[in-house]
């Protein structure tokens, strides 16, 4: 068994100029940026530069390894563990793809994915697209997952003054293009800002993050916007969902009360809407947004108030319709339950009595 590494006595976060809640991606950025600044090949050969580079590498080795970081935090920063935020918070098991390097070997340069001029042009196109957002896209953005603002703040000190100015200007430029009614909505504003900041930061991230980390940061900064924009209101099965909500809106109040009573009595609404095998709301934000928006609209279409259990039952039925491609016929029928009639699905035979439409030999 290899010897257990000795716990450093000083503050490793201070070595990397980070707060104790910094994400693993921020640790990677800080390590690369500081080595480029203080490495003997840059700062000049000297015992001080050599020692500084070693200390930066040691801090990176401890804080980029989930197991070592937990041990260090438990003994040095117990109050910082619970408050850890950022991109890497939910992926603590992810290990950096970069191996430990001696101070004589600075991090390799990474190819630039986008030139600065291209970034400014891309941001201009993004701002123009903001002005063309449709009502459906704006509704979807209100439900989008907001990007990790803390990550951008944590790496600000490592950006050049010019790049930092550009990153900070994105929020105001987005604000000026958004419709007044949604300028302060967190989902709309932050999703548009995060997408714009990723455009400006692309070349920097290419240079300072390894592949896995880089793609994770990019995905989190752009996830909200990508999940909402250029998407049907209710997702791939949007037409069927729209027809069902329209049918629900036309359903007489007496029928709604009858169905609601049946749904509440059967306990169909117990638990949250289930997801089919192979689909997860934390991995497919576009489908999550589609489901939440459809459920919200369906509840708003009710012509009569229904008990909470019936509301949950209706949400499960609409959710199943949004994700119909992922459910078996029997599972779909079970989730729709008594709402088949109000949703206009009576013309479809239940799974157990559907005709076999395969061609006869």
111: three-class secondary structure by DSSP: coil
Span 303-350, pLDDT tens digits? 888 888 889 999 999 999 999 999 999 999 999 989 999 999 977 655
| Alpha carbon distances (Å) from 200 to 127, 157, 203, 218 | 13, 16, 8, 11
The label of the residue with tokens 């840059």 reads 42
Which pair of tokens denotes residue 152? 């951008």
The label of the residue with tokens 């934000």 reads 285
What is the band of 285 on the pLDDT scale with cuts at 50, 70, 90? very high
Reply yes or no on whether the pLDDT at 117 is more than 70: no
- The segment(s) of the chain belonging to CATH 1.10.287.110 are 12-91
Please provide the average confidence, as pLDDT, over all residues in the chain: 84
**Calpha distance 249→75 (Å, rounded):** 59
- What's the CATH architecture for 12-91? Orthogonal Bundle (1.10)
Cβ atoms of 318 and 294 closer than 8 Å: yes
Nearest residue to 48 (alpha-carbon basis) of 33, 38, 34: 38
């Amino acid at each position: 068994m290899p010897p257990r590494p000795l716990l450093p006595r000083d503050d490793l976060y201070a070595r990397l100029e980070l707060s104790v809640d910094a994400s693993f991606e921020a640790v990677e950025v800080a390590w690369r940026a500081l080595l480029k600044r203080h490495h003997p090949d840059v700062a000049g050969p000297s015992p001080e530069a050599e020692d500084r580079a070693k200390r930066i590498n040691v801090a990176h080795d401890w804080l980029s390894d989930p197991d070592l970081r937990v041990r260090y935090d438990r003994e040095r920063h117990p109050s910082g563990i619970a408050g850890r935020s950022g991109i890497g918070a939910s992926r603590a098991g992810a290990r950096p793809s970069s191996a430990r390097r001696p101070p004589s070997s600075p991090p390799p340069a990474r190819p630039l994915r986008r030139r600065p001029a291209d970034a400014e042009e891309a941001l201009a196109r993004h701002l123009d697209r903001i002005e063309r957002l449709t009502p459906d896209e704006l509704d979807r953005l209100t439900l989008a997952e907001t990007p990790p603002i803390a990550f951008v703040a944590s790496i600000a000190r490592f950006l050049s003054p010019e790049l930092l100015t550009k990153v900070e200007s994105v929020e105001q430029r987005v604000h000026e293009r958004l419709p007044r009614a949604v300028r302060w909505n967190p989902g709309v504003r932050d999703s548009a800002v995060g997408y714009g900041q990723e455009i400006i930061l692309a070349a920097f991230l290419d240079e300072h993050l390894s592949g896995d980390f880089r793609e994770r940061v990019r995905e989190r900064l752009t996830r909200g916007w990508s999940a909402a924009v250029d998407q049907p209101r209710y997702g791939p099965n949007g037409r069927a969902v729209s027809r069902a909500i329209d049918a629900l809106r036309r359903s007489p109040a007496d029928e709604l009360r009858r169905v609601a009573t049946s749904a509440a009595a059967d306990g169909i609404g117990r638990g949250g809407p289930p997801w089919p095998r192979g689909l997860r709301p934390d991995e497919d934000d576009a489908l999550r947004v589609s489901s939440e928006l459809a459920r919200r609209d369906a509840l708003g279409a009710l012509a009569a108030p229904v008990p909470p259990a019936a509301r949950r039952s209706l949400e499960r039925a609409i959710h199943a319709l949004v994700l119909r491609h992922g459910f078996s016929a029997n599972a779909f029928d079970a989730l729709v339950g008594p709402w088949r009639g109000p949703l206009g699905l009576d013309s479809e035979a239940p799974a157990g009595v559907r005709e076999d439409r395969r061609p006869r030999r």
